[in-house]
Amino acid sequence: MTPHAYTEDQLVEQPAIGLFAELGWTTVSANEETFGPSGTLERETKGEVVLVAGLRRALQRLNPSIDADIIESAIDQLARDRSAMSLEAANREVYTLLKDGIPVSVPDETGGQKPERLTVIDWANPTNNNFLLVSQFSVVGALYNCRPDLVGFVNGLPLVVIELKKPSEPARAAFDGNLTHYKREIPALFW
């Protein structure tokens, strides 16, 4: 069955997906997502927000001289639960890791350890990064469930979340509707 031409999907979501594809993003629908290592997004459950397999591949590609166990430790550090932190502190911490890299210790020539920073995103050469746009990405959490229209992942990390509305819906009504929805679904963000 073909979707109706006047739906939000046909009027807004599909053209937005097309624009991202033109910009070089890989696009995939998670509407009928399968799970596991060979699944649609290679995640195990809807509770996973970071696409760890993609992040691992990116860290290995961007940091080829770093051992696998150090990469795993860096993934744990980047993807750890920060829900007990204030939003400001959590955002600042993740921003620093993305901008400056993840601090790790690596073996040096003398048999000791030296500090180094793993590159998470290649800011100087954007084409070295992996850009994935996922439509209808479901997330199930202890406090909330949500399914944004579009989520943009850079190297497996969700950095862009887009909610779309039909052109016929007034912008203010769409904004207020989304705000009410997210206040209800994720109340901790609005205290």
Per-residue pLDDT of 125-165, as tens digits, reads 999 999 999 999 988 877 778 888 899 999 999 999 888 87
Q: Of 34-38, 60-64, 81-85, 175-179, where does the model show the most confidence? A: 60-64
Tens-place pLDDT, residues 112-127: 999 999 999 999 999 9
What is the three-state SS of the chain? CCCCCCCHHHHHHHHHHHHHHHCCCEEEECCCCCCCCCCCCCCCCCCCCCCHHHHHHHHHHHCCCCCHHHHHHHHHHHHCCCCCCCHHHHHHHHHHHHHHCEEEEEECCCCCEEEEEECCCCCCCHHHCCEEEEECCCEECCCCEECCCEEEEECCEEEEEECCCCCCCCHHHHHHHHHHHHHHHCHHHHC
Say if residue 186's pLDDT is above 60.
no
